[in-house]
Amino acid sequence: MITTKLNRRSFVIGSTAVGAGLALGLKIPFGASVVRAQDGSPEVTAWVVIRPDDTVVIRIARSEMGQGTLTGLAQMVAEELECDWSKVKTEYPTPGQSVKRKRAWGDFSTGGSRGIRDSHQYVREGGAAARMMLIQAAATTWSVPVTECSAANSVITHKPSGRTVTYGKVAEAAAKLTPPEKPALKDPKDWKLIGKSVKRLDTMDKLNGAHVYGADLKLPGMLNAAIKDCPVFGGKVKSYEAAKVASMPGVKQVVPVGDSAVAVVAETWWQAKTALDQLPIVWDEGPNASVSSATIAEMLKEGLDADQAFVGNRNGDVKAAIASAAKKIEAVYAYPFQNHAPMEPMNATAKYTPERCEVWVPTQNGEAAFAATLAASGLPADKCEVYKLNLGGGFGRRGAFHDYVTQAVLIAKQMPGTPVKLLWTREEDMLHGRYHPVMQCKLVGAFDASNNLTALHMRLSGQSILTAVRPEALQDGKDPATFQGLNPSGEFAFGYSVPNLLIDHAMRNTHVPPGFWRGVNINQNAIFVECFMDEMAHAVGQDPLEFRRKLMTKHPKHLAVLNAVADRAGWGKPAPKGVYRGLAQMMSFNSYVAACAEISVTDGTKVKIQRIVAATDPGYAVNPAQIDRQIAGSFVYGLSGVFLQECTVKDGHIEQTNFNNYDSMRIAQMPKVESILMPSGGFWGGVGEPTICVAAPAVLNAYFAATGKRIRTYPLKNHGITLV
């Protein structure tokens, strides 16, 4: 995709070099060489390649997995580039090129709803710098002052003479210029493309079968692999009888993969899978084979009253305030393990020789996939490359974890020169997730004689994701990510002022590997906080909205989204007959989100969600139509989770095997979602994840309003409650 003529362009981003004075014109450095895309077109900046036919190719480092970041990031570059949007195409730079070019495209990681909010500055600068270089190149050609030239829609105009030239004609000359170091960016009020609901750039191929996902890759001479890893986490392969399947149709080889897995490699995947099903394997399940959901729950329960806990948020003296309270209430909640279950099961294709290892993979983080490739192949960075393919969903499973890449490389190493595509079965995917962590929470609320909330203690007990995944990010043992939505400040700030507050975490880790499940820890934290807010309001006979408002006077942005959904839904006015409402709000991934659910309940158990009103303040809204879709989709992900999904543990392994016992919402259960997008400006919030966390508590609070029953353990199917 990109040639190796790197040199000067590696400092486009984050350079400390002083750029040429732009008003005076850019200098043409002596002997400058042009960096070229694979088709020979000049690269103006690392982010922008312009072809002679005026096609603009915008580089996208983050991964598109449905959330729309590819189109949104292209809009941001194009806004500053002043190019013709109809001529924009995109491409992914490879992680290997990123390493060679000292991360010219910044971070590849696509998680934490960071695609746009963490790269908006430098991608816009990449577009702005390219525009300035193109204008300069035209001015130089015309021998006119650059200040007399301007650009719009991929055309540069010299105002005094009326001369024009298109970007494609001057791109070659522009690519020889030194990029300006810190180009000025437009004032948001001047945006023409950012903020517009332009259509996605990647839709057509998803309608005709042409979009190539990782599972669809075809390479010459490629073989296919199916794999079984020890069902009990931490277990190993004791033995297997390869001879029993070696002569089955298509089978090429049966190979060990690390010490815990075995794979069958065959001509087709179906042959590999068929043989693997027949392969006798004896597992050494190890010390975790006696763990069950019950033993894990018992361990977490102990943490609810343990003396030691990591403090996430504290003010005042909770203990004293609770001791002297006129009234107090207490509740315990529990949230289960859940699997990401993206529609496309895990897969990766690898080709290995002692000189080179290449991997093709749908990944949320090309650089992490690259690191896994290096580690598994044992080869240095200059002998490895990763090619990112389209993802059939990610949701956090394909970001921090590249176990399937490691496996594919370990298989390919045993068949040098032959590309091997490893595809997991859905069953393997269910058994070997990186699960939403289990968490219990005990909450105590205390009131004075006038029913004012005087203290809140929230004790979390459960798994730490960072301990398992990124231990270097722990703070003296504390996992700060556990407190998403509960922090005193920052991008996950708690939206209530309570005179005496303590939120702490008794870390209780299990052998079940935790991961970042779309929304991560704020999903359960929002249920704990927002359902308990509802409980406390009812305990003192107050309206849940009014009760919250009193605690939110110092949190205007939290309050604004809550008020917006209450107003739109008609909170305080009579609901249609048989319809009940529930509220929730949080600050999530630097955005403010709230929801009001309207539900009806038949026979106490059949829940019909009639309507959802959801508000989001993400600071700036790059593509409102895509944000609307992320909000609506968040209710599918979040409500599937709270109604239907739980991974239980028996004999050390996950019991659920497929969508027949780990279900997901269908269209019949989909409520009408009305989104309110209310960007207030001045900050950049995420979009892909934030709303999920308010889906469950809004519906749970509406369920209480409808039935008087407070459900505190999930999923709801365990209580005989169904979504109809």
Assess 204 for contact with other proteins (CB under 8 A): yes
CB of 51 to other proteins, least distance (A): 24
Provide the mask over 568-607, with x wherever binding to other proteins is found by CB under 8 A and - wherever it is not: ----------------------------------------
CB of 125 to other proteins, least distance (A): 29
Question: What is the secondary structure of 522-587 as a DSSP string?
Answer: HHHHHHHHHHHHHHHHHHTT--HHHHHHHH-TT-HHHHHHHHHHHHHHTTTSPPSTT-EEEEEEEE
CB of 644 to other proteins, least distance (A): 11
Instruction: Please state, in angstroms and as integers, the Cα–Cα distance from residue 333 to each residue in 205, 444, 529, 694, following that order.
Output: 44, 12, 10, 16
CB of 149 to other proteins, least distance (A): 36
Q: Which is nearer to other proteins, 23 or 667 (CB)?
A: 667
Q: Give yes or no for a contact between 337 and 511, defined as CB atoms under 8 angstroms apart.
A: no
Q: Which is nearer to other proteins, 199 or 244 (CB)?
A: 199
Provide the mask over 407-446, with x wherever binding to other proteins is found by CB under 8 A and - wherever it is not: ----------------x-xx--------------------
Assess 318 for contact with other proteins (CB under 8 A): no
Applying CB under 8 A, the span of 236-244, 337-345, 365-373, 550-558 interacting with other proteins comes to 337-345
Q: Give yes or no for a contact between 585 and 561, defined as CB atoms under 8 angstroms apart.
A: yes
Assess 212 for contact with other proteins (CB under 8 A): yes
Assess 215 for contact with other proteins (CB under 8 A): yes
Question: What is the secondary structure of 295-342 as a DSSP string?
Answer: HHHHHHHHHTT-S--EEEEEES-HHHHHHT-SEEEEEEEEE-BB----
CB of 246 to other proteins, least distance (A): 17
CB of 422 to other proteins, least distance (A): 14
Q: Which is nearer to other proteins, 250 or 286 (CB)?
A: 250
Per-residue tokens: 459 = 């004790």
Strand order in the sheet with 453-462: 310-315, 500-507, 453-462, 439-447, 327-335
CB of 56 to other proteins, least distance (A): 22
> Rounded CA gap, 642 and 528, in Å?
13
Assess 342 for contact with other proteins (CB under 8 A): yes
Least Cα distance to 112 among 396, 346, 339 occurs for: 396
Decide: helix, strand or coil at residue 58.
strand
Applying CB under 8 A, the span of 6-14, 97-105, 197-205, 350-358 interacting with other proteins comes to 197-205
CB of 658 to other proteins, least distance (A): 5
Applying CB under 8 A, the span of 52-60, 77-85, 200-208, 565-573 interacting with other proteins comes to 200-208
Q: Give yes or no for a contact between 238 and 106, defined as CB atoms under 8 angstroms apart.
A: no
Q: How many residues of this chain bind other proteins (CB under 8 A)?
A: 60
> Rounded CA gap, 528 and 331, in Å?
9
Burial class (CB in 10 A: 0-12, 13-18, 19+), 66: buried
Q: Which is nearer to other proteins, 68 or 480 (CB)?
A: 68
CB of 210 to other proteins, least distance (A): 7
CB of 439 to other proteins, least distance (A): 22
Angle at 173 between CA 171 and CA 179, to 5 degrees: 85
Q: Of 122, 269, 435, 492, which one interacts with other proteins (CB under 8 A)?
A: 269
> Largest Cα–Cα distance in the chain?
83
Q: Which is nearer to other proteins, 68 or 95 (CB)?
A: 68
Element (H, E) at 32: none
> Rounded CA gap, 464 and 192, in Å?
43
Assess 206 for contact with other proteins (CB under 8 A): yes
The two beta strands, 356-362 and 384-389, are: parallel
The two beta strands, 439-447 and 453-462, are: antiparallel
Assess 193 for contact with other proteins (CB under 8 A): no
Between residue 616 and residue 675, which ones bind other proteins under the rule CB under 8 A?
625, 629, 632-637, 640, 658-660, 664-668, 670, 672-673
Between residue 366 and residue 405, which ones bind other proteins under the rule CB under 8 A?
390-395
Q: Give yes or no for a contact between 716 and 707, defined as CB atoms under 8 angstroms apart.
A: no
Instruction: Please state, in angstroms and as integers, the Cα–Cα distance from residue 677 to each residue in 192, 499, 589, following that order.
Output: 18, 32, 16
Decide: helix, strand or coil at residue 458.
strand
Assess 345 for contact with other proteins (CB under 8 A): yes
Q: Of 18, 23, 210, 243, which one interacts with other proteins (CB under 8 A)?
A: 210
- Eight-class DSSP state of 632: H
Least Cα distance to 226 among 129, 121, 346 occurs for: 346
Q: Which is nearer to other proteins, 390 or 591 (CB)?
A: 390
CB of 392 to other proteins, least distance (A): 3
Applying CB under 8 A, the span of 130-138, 168-176, 262-270, 476-484 interacting with other proteins comes to 262-270
Assess 216 for contact with other proteins (CB under 8 A): yes
> Rounded CA gap, 432 and 468, in Å?
15
Q: Of 30, 31, 143, 218, which one interacts with other proteins (CB under 8 A)?
A: 218
Applying CB under 8 A, the span of 50-58, 210-218, 544-552, 702-710 interacting with other proteins comes to 210-218
Assess 68 for contact with other proteins (CB under 8 A): yes
Tell me how far apart the terminal alpha carbons of the chain are, to the nearest angstrom.
49
CB of 723 to other proteins, least distance (A): 12
CB of 346 to other proteins, least distance (A): 12
Least Cα distance to 172 among 19, 32, 74 occurs for: 32
Buried/exposed code over 272-281 (b: 16+ C-beta within 10 A; e: otherwise): bbbbbeebee
Q: Which is nearer to other proteins, 45 or 630 (CB)?
A: 630
Assess 203 for contact with other proteins (CB under 8 A): yes
CB of 1 to other proteins, least distance (A): 22
Q: Give yes or no for a contact between 367 and 95, defined as CB atoms under 8 angstroms apart.
A: yes
Question: What is the secondary structure of 700-711 as a DSSP string?
Answer: HHHHHHHHS---
Assess 86 for contact with other proteins (CB under 8 A): no
Provide the mask over 238-257, with x wherever binding to other proteins is found by CB under 8 A and - wherever it is not: -----------x--------
Residues forming contacts to other proteins in the complex (CB under 8 A) are 65-68, 199-200, 202-213, 215-216, 218, 224, 249, 268-270, 341-345, 390-395, 423, 425-426, 625, 629, 632-637, 640, 658-660, 664-668, 670, 672-673
